[in-house]
Each structure stands twice: as structure tokens, then as C-alpha cells.
């Protein structure tokens, strides 16, 4: 079992009674930094991150799972991190998103829905000589390489 697999099991164990929280990813970097990203349907608190960190750190130390010195970091993915899970898509319905397509094109619009295998967005389409119109499009997830929430400071 890899360190990442053990950490995933420990995080899942810690949040098993919290249906509002979910694991996004775990990465053990070569520089000894172990990064755990956890999110929640309504966000995640510092207290939740600290509790997960204590649980994972305690068990890793008890099991002597990592022989070298390491730095454990537990946080939410961050506002600029790409969305990776369907649960994150659903959490961000109503927000503006940027999509990088497999074709290399970019698309932007308001996220309207996230169904299995598809996203529905409302985008502004401007054809030459015509007024811009709002169009709803359903896009298969396999045509999207990256999804990010657009930050507005208005």
C-alpha cells in the first residue's frame, strides 16, 4: 500500500460520519510535503482541517509509515484550483466557470447543471453583425480538460 493509499483510507475513516465533507486528492511530493485537499458541500472549516491533520498525523507516526521527515498540509483545494469531482461541480452551480477543451479552445459561462458525464453552461455567443445572446449548452466531460471557477471582484 502506498503512502497516498494509506492517507486516503485515514481521511475517509475520519470523515466517515460527516456526509458534508469529501476528499479531493492526496499527494506525497518528493520534497517530503504531504498535501491533503478536502472540501465540503458548504466549504470546510479550519477546525475540520486540523482534526483531519491530527488524525492522519497520529496514525502515520504510530505506524511509522513515513521514515523520512515530512510536512503534512491539510486544506481546501483553493479557489484557483481546478474542479476535479462531480461533487465540486454541483457545489459551484450558479457560478461563472472557465473550461479548457480537449480541442485547445476555452469556453466561459455560468454553470447551470452537472449531470453524470456532462456539464450544462450558459454562455454568451456573439455572431458577427448580430447582438450577443445567452445560449445554454450541454458539454460532455470527456471534451473538457480543466474546469475552474472564475473569480469576480465586482
Cα–Cα dist 107/97, whole Å: 8
**Contacts by 128-134, CB closer than 8 A, 24 or more apart:** none
Tell which residue, 40, 43, 37, 41, has the closest CA to residue 74.
37
Give, in order, the Cα–Cα distances in Å from 11 to each of 73, 80, 103: 13, 23, 36
CATH of 3-75, one of 3.30.200.20, 3.30.70.141, 3.30.300.70, 3.40.930.10: 3.30.300.70
Write the pLDDT tens digit of every residue in 25-82: 999 999 999 999 999 999 999 999 999 999 999 999 999 988 888 999 999 998 889 9
- Give pLDDT, residue 91: 93
- Report d(CA 31, CA 49) in Å as an integer: 22
The pLDDT score that the predictor gives to residue 154 is 73
Task: Work out the average pLDDT over 82-110.
Answer: 96
pLDDT digits (tens, 9 = 90+) for 101-145: 999 999 999 999 999 899 999 999 888 888 899 999 999 999 999
Phi, psi dihedral angles at 95 (to 5 degrees): -100, 160
Query: What pLDDT is recorded for position 128?
Result: 85
CA 97 vs CA 51, 80, 119, 123: distances in Å: 31, 11, 11, 10
CA distances from 141 to 102, 120, 147 (A): 10, 10, 10
Chain CA centroid to CA 11, Å: 16
Is the pTM higher than 0.75? The answer reads yes
Domain boundaries, the chain: 3-75, 86-149
Q: Which CATH number is 86-149 given?
A: 2.30.30.100
Please identify which residue in the block is written with the cell numbers 484550483: 81
Residue 16's pLDDT band (boundaries 50, 70, 90)? Answer: very high
Amino acid at each position: 500500500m502506498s503512502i497516498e493509499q494509506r492517507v486516503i483510507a485515514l481521511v475517509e475513516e475520519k470523515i466517515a460520519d460527516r456526509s458534508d465533507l469529501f476528499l479531493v486528492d492526496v499527494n506525497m511530493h518528493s520534497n517530503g510535503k504531504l498535501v491533503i485537499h478536502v472540501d465540503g458541500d458548504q466549504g470546510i472549516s479550519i477546525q475540520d482541517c486540523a482534526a483531519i491533520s491530527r488524525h492522519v498525523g497520529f496514525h502515520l507516526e504510530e505506524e511509522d509509515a513515513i521514515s523520512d521527515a515530512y510536512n503534512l498540509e491539510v486544506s481546501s483545494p483553493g479557489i484557483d484550483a481546478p474542479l476535479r469531482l462531480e461533487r465540486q461541480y454541483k457545489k459551484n452551480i450558479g457560478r461563472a466557470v472557465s473550461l479548457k477543451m480537449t480541442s485547445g479552445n476555452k469556453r466561459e459561462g455560468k454553470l447551470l447543471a452537472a449531470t453524470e458525464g456532462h456539464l450544462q453552461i450558459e454562455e454568451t455567443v456573439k455572431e458577427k453583425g448580430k447582438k450577443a445572446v445567452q445560449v445554454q449548452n450541454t458539454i460532455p466531460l470527456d471534451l473538457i480538460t480543466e474546469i475552474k471557477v472564475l473569480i469576480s471582484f465586482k
